[in-house]
Amino acid sequence: MKKAIKVFKFGGASLKDANAIMNVANILKTFRDQRLVIVVSAMGKTTNAFEEVVNAHHKGTGEASKLLDAIKKHHYQICEALFGSEDEVYASVNDAFVEVEWVLDEPPHENYDYMYDQIVSIGELVSSKIAQAYFSKIGLPTQWLDARDIILTDDIFREGWVQWEETQERCDRLAKPMTEKPGFVLTQGFIGSTTENFTTTLGREGSDYTAAIFSYCLDAESMTIWKDVPGVLTADPRLFNHVTKIDRLSYREAIEMTYYGAKVIHPKTIKPLQNKSIPLFVKSFVEPEAEGTFISSEVEDTYPPMVAVEQHQALLQIATRDFSFVAEHHMSYLFTLIADLRMQVNMMQNTAISFVVCVNDIDNKVDQFIEKVQDQFKVILDRDLELITVRHFQQDVLDNLRRGKIILLEERLRNTVQMVARDVPVMQRKPKIK
Ligand code: ADP
Ligand code: ASP
Ligand code: MG
């Protein structure tokens, strides 16, 4: 009987340089006999570097080609270390970079988001070409699959929404037969395409989500995401000391944690897995033998306090200009606008004459929103805030988190406390100097 499919996702950190790619290959060697579908992100911080190319071209700073050259150089150095100076991979990597050069040869496209996706997606295309060629070269036969042939999205660039029925149909028709053949199948995270074959992206950090889409459509036995941390921790180790690994998590808890900013898993990842009861493992590519975190439905809901911090928050206090109550028809209007702009609302509260909402402050969505509503509403805006979410809170944990912060909005619902906060300015903290 054929083995069931497992889906693996390797993110930027696991592919950041030649040694990292060799380490991934060593992990894969231990799965040689398995039916694996491997989803890869762009290498290291390539997506950020491509964003700079896009911005430079958009603003016409004249730096775009130079920035692209630095990205190319980095990738060619990795190729040199993996393949030596001659290999077929150079031509295919070059073909991908040429597509960016074509975009840069033209004046900046009027649709920024469209231009963004055409350029930034090249990060995943080159990393997947290099990884596929390297794994095949060292005796792990691997087929390359273009994720854009499978994942159909709507035409909202930079945040394509998956069209599930068509994606399932394309997966059955194109991806499944590849998984029947010997060897691994390797594809790109983060990217999809519209019905007109324009490349789209699924939102930053979207490769985990891609792996979940493939897991769902291929009825995978399990999905594993390989990270630079031992598993899901009680908080981000970059921000907090004394974090501990959670061995087992329910889908529900994982959805809540990631939705409120636990950056270890993309928030959209869990739902498709939950719908088909596909377990998710979060494991360390540094210690591949270690247990990691197991996420499934069969897990008891008792957890230690867990903290997620989401930065770049804006708090909007919205009041009618004529001092009338903010009534349902106002809410309906405001929410339609929020939905149209695809803003993420993290917290809200209403009083008699105002409505307060905390949203992710990305791109210029907040400015667009204010511009649209300011005729009818007065808006007080606070920016550069953070949203701190504590699940399964204990009082001492909350007290610690509040230290040095001004809390602008707080909400408590069963076992969850959320605070929109900013740091107390140094002047007001009166720090002791002795
Ligand atoms: P990838 O290489 O897949 O893109 P990311 O860098 O996006 O990986 O995610 C891993 C990072 O997520 C970790 O290095 C860690 O700093 C951060 N992180 C945030 N919250 C948590 C958490 N609760 N548990 C573990 N890691 C977390
Ligand atoms: N490369 C993309 C990003 O950095 C997608 C991902 O890594 O998940 O956002
Ligand atoms: Mg990431």
Are residue 352 and residue 207 in the same domain, yes or no? no
Q: What is the pLDDT of residue 431?
A: 52
User: Which parts of the chain register pLDDT below 50?
Assistant: none
Q: What is the pLDDT of residue 429?
A: 57
Q: What is the pLDDT of residue 3?
A: 78
* Domain final position from 174, 206, 227: 227
Please choose, from the candidates 77, 74, 70, the residue with its C-alpha nearest in 3D space to the C-alpha of residue 44: 74
Are residue 209 and residue 317 in the same domain, yes or no? no
Are residue 12 and residue 105 in the same domain, yes or no? yes
Q: Is residue 434 part of a domain?
A: no
Q: Is residue 380 part of a domain?
A: yes
| Predicted confidence (pLDDT) per residue in 324-346, tens digit | 888 888 999 999 999 999 899 99
Q: What is the pLDDT of residue 430?
A: 56
Q: What is the pLDDT of residue 427?
A: 65
Q: Is residue 263 part of a domain?
A: no
Residue 93 near residue 124, CB atoms below 8 Å: no
Q: Is residue 121 part of a domain?
A: yes
| Predicted confidence (pLDDT) per residue in 40-53, tens digit | 999 999 999 999 99
Q: Whose CA is nearest to atom 1 of ligand 1?
A: 11
* Domain final position from 164, 198, 227: 227
**SS3 letters across 206-259:** CHHHHHHHHHHHCCCCEEEEEECCCCCECCCCCCCCCCCECCEEEHHHHHHHHH
Are residue 130 and residue 222 in the same domain, yes or no? yes
Return the ligand 2 atom nearest residue 205 CA.
Answer: 8
Are residue 326 and residue 194 in the same domain, yes or no? no
Q: What pairs with residue 281 in β-bridges? A: 224, 294
Return the ligand 1 atom nearest residue 264 CA.
Answer: 12
User: What is the DSSP-derived secondary structure letter of residue 147?
Assistant: G
Are residue 193 and residue 326 in the same domain, yes or no? no
Are residue 49 and residue 179 in the same domain, yes or no? yes
Are residue 60 and residue 207 in the same domain, yes or no? yes
Please choose, from the candidates 263, 370, 273, 363, the residue with its C-alpha nearest in 3D space to the C-alpha of residue 307: 263
Q: Name every protein residue with a CB atom under 6 angstroms from any ligand 2 atom.
A: 11-12, 41-42, 47, 123, 189-190, 204-207
User: The domain containing residue 346 runs over which residues?
Assistant: 306-423
Q: What is the CATH number of the domain that holds 106?
A: 3.40.1160.10
Rounded to whole angstroms, the Cα distance separating 133 from 141 reads: 9
Q: Is residue 348 part of a domain?
A: yes
- Block residue for tokens 């598993």: 231
Q: Is residue 429 part of a domain?
A: no
Q: What is the CATH number of the domain that holds 319?
A: 3.30.2130.10
Q: What is the pLDDT of residue 326?
A: 81
Q: Is residue 389 part of a domain?
A: yes
* Domain final position from 160, 194, 227: 227
| 3-class SS of residue 430 | coil
The ligand placed nearest to the CA atom of residue 191 is 2
Element (H, E) at 296: strand 293-296
* Distance of CA 249 from the midpoint of ligand 3 (Å): 20
Q: Is residue 273 part of a domain?
A: no
Return the ligand 1 atom nearest residue 232 CA.
Answer: 24
Q: What is the pLDDT of residue 424?
A: 87
Are residue 223 and residue 310 in the same domain, yes or no? no
Are residue 100 and residue 198 in the same domain, yes or no? yes
Return the ligand 2 atom nearest residue 48 CA.
Answer: 4
| Predicted confidence (pLDDT) per residue in 382-433, tens digit | 999 999 999 999 999 999 999 999 999 999 998 999 999 999 876 665 555 5
Q: What is the pLDDT of residue 405?
A: 95
* Distance of CA 12 from the midpoint of ligand 3 (Å): 6
Are residue 210 and residue 337 in the same domain, yes or no? no
The ligand placed nearest to the CA atom of residue 205 is 2
Question: What is the total count of domains within the chain?
Answer: 2
